[in-house]
Structure 1
Amino acid sequence: MNGARRLPDGNSVDQALSRATEFLRSTRDADGWWNDYEVRGPGQFWATAFVGASLAELPDGPGRTAATESWELLKKSRGPSDGWGYCPQVPGDADITSWALRLAEALGADTDPRAAEGYRFVDAHLQGDGGISSYLPEVAAPFLERVAPRWDAWYASHPCVTAAAAGLRGLPRRERLLARLREIQRPEGSWPAYWWPDREYPTALAAEALTAGPDGPDCPEAAAAARWAADRIGTDGAVRTVWEPEGSAFATAFALRAVVTGAAPDGAKAARRAVDHLLHTQSQDGSWQASAWCQVPGPMERNPDEREHWERGRRGKAALGSVVLDTKALYTTASVVAALARTRAAPQTLTVTAEHSAGEA
Structure 2
Amino acid sequence: MIAAYNALIGSLSFDPHTEQVLLDPKVLQEHHFYLHLVKYLAPVYPAVPEAAQQRLGVAVYLYFRFALSCDRLIDDKKSLDGAGIKGFFVHIRLLEAAVRELSAFFPAGHDFWPQFEKSREQYLSAILAEKQLAKQSVTLTRERFEQLAAGKSALCYAVPVAMGLLPGADSAQLRPLQQCLEYLHIGFQYLDDIDDYQKDIQEGQPNFAACLLAEKLAAMKLQSPLPEGQERYKLLFLTGVATHCLEHAILNFEKSLASIAGTGLAQLEHYISRNIHKAQEQIKAISLLVDKAKVKASHSSQHQHVAKTQFSVADIEQAIANAKAFLWAAMEDDGSWTDFLTNAGLGRNWITAYVAMNLTEVSCDNALPDKAAALLFSEKFSGAYNPQISSDADSLNFLIGFLHNREYQIEPSLLEEWTAFCSSGGGWSTYHNPAILRSIMGLKAEADVSGWLSPKTCVSAAALYVLSRKAQYGEGYQRSADYLADMQKENGSWDSYWWSSPVYATAYAIQALSASGRYGNSCMKAVDWLCASQSSGGCWNSDIIFSESPLYTAMAMKALLHADALQNAPNLTAAQNWLLHHQTSDGSWQSTYALLVPSPEIHDIREVSRWKKGSFGVNTIVDDHSRVFTTVTVVNTLEYLLTKIRQQ
Whether the 8 Å contact between 1:92 and 1:140 is mirrored in structure 2 is no
For 2:360, the aligned partner's letter is A
**Aligned counterpart, 2:562:** 261
Secondary structure in 2 matching 1:178 = helix
Whether the 8 Å contact between 1:159 and 1:181 is mirrored in structure 2 is yes
Task: Give, in whole Å, the separation in 2 of the partners of 1:349 and 1:61.
Answer: 19
Tell me: CA distance 1:18–1:61, structure 2 relative to 1, closer, same or farther (3 Å): farther
Tell me: CA distance 1:204–1:349, structure 2 relative to 1, closer, same or farther (3 Å): farther
Tell me how far 1:222 sits from its aligned partner.
1.8
For 1:286, the aligned partner's letter is G
Tell me how far 1:137 sits from its aligned partner.
1.2
Shift >6 Å, 4+ stretches: none
Tell me how far 1:243 sits from its aligned partner.
4.8
Task: Give, in whole Å, the separation in 2 of the partners of 1:284 and 1:20.
Answer: 10
Matching of residue 150 in structure 1 with residue 445 in structure 2: no
- Cα deviation, 1:130-179, whole Å, max 9, x if unaligned, reads 20111111673463462242311111001111011112235461211101
Bigger Rg over Cα: 2
Pairwise mapping of residues 45-64 of structure 1 onto structure 2 (< 5 A)?
45-59=349-363, 62=366, 64=367
TM-score by length of 1: 0.85
Pairwise mapping of residues 1-16 of structure 1 onto structure 2 (< 5 A)?
8-16=311-319
**Aligned counterpart, 1:95:** 394
Task: Give, in whole Å, the separation in 1 of the partners of 2:583 and 2:595.
Answer: 21
Matching of residue 31 in structure 1 with residue 334 in structure 2: yes
Task: Give, in whole Å, the separation in 1 of the partners of 2:497 and 2:425.
Answer: 16
Matching of residue 223 in structure 1 with residue 223 in structure 2: no
2:374 to 72, 75, 94: 72
CA RMSD of aligned residues (A): 2.4
TM-score by length of 2: 0.48
Pairwise mapping of residues 1-361 of structure 1 onto structure 2 (< 5 A)?
8-39=311-342, 40-59=344-363, 62=366, 64-66=367-369, 69-78=371-380, 84-109=383-408, 111-113=409-411, 116-137=412-433, 140-141=436-437, 143-144=439-440, 146-148=442-444, 149-168=447-466, 169=470, 170-171=472-473, 173-215=476-518, 219-243=520-544, 245-263=546-564, 267-291=568-592, 293-315=594-616, 318=617, 320-347=618-645
Secondary structure in 2 matching 1:293 = strand
Task: Give, in whole Å, the separation in 2 of the partners of 1:227 and 1:324.
Answer: 29
Tell me: CA distance 1:253–1:165, structure 2 relative to 1, closer, same or farther (3 Å): same
Whether the 8 Å contact between 1:185 and 1:191 is mirrored in structure 2 is yes
For 2:388, the aligned partner's letter is Q
Tell me: CA distance 1:162–1:266, structure 2 relative to 1, closer, same or farther (3 Å): same
Count of residue pairs brought into register by the alignment:
332
Of structures 1 and 2, the one scoring higher in RCO (CA 8 A, sep 6+) is 1
Whether the 8 Å contact between 2:560 and 2:568 is mirrored in structure 1 is yes
Tell me how far 1:214 sits from its aligned partner.
4.6
Tell me: CA distance 1:7–1:202, structure 2 relative to 1, closer, same or farther (3 Å): farther
Task: Give, in whole Å, the separation in 2 of the partners of 1:336 and 1:112.
Answer: 28
Tell me how far 1:337 sits from its aligned partner.
0.9
Secondary structure in 2 matching 1:194 = coil
Tell me: CA distance 1:179–1:339, structure 2 relative to 1, closer, same or farther (3 Å): same
Whether the 8 Å contact between 1:92 and 1:139 is mirrored in structure 2 is no
Extract unaligned runs of 5+ from structure 2: 1-308
Secondary structure in 2 matching 1:299 = coil
Task: Give, in whole Å, the separation in 2 of the partners of 1:138 and 1:181.
Answer: 24
Whether the 8 Å contact between 2:336 and 2:372 is mirrored in structure 1 is yes
For 2:326, the aligned partner's letter is F
Secondary structure in 1 matching 2:341 = coil
**Aligned counterpart, 1:359:** none
Task: Give, in whole Å, the separation in 2 of the partners of 1:238 and 1:255.
Answer: 9
Moved more, 20-29 or 169-178: 169-178
- More helix, by proportion: 2
Extract unaligned runs of 5+ from structure 1: 1-5, 351-361
Whether the 8 Å contact between 1:190 and 1:225 is mirrored in structure 2 is yes
For 1:137, the aligned partner's letter is N
Tell me how far 1:77 sits from its aligned partner.
4.9
Tell me: CA distance 1:32–1:348, structure 2 relative to 1, closer, same or farther (3 Å): closer
Tell me how far 1:95 sits from its aligned partner.
1.0
- Cα deviation, 1:234-291, whole Å, max 9, x if unaligned, reads 2221112335544110111111122112228851100000000001110111100001
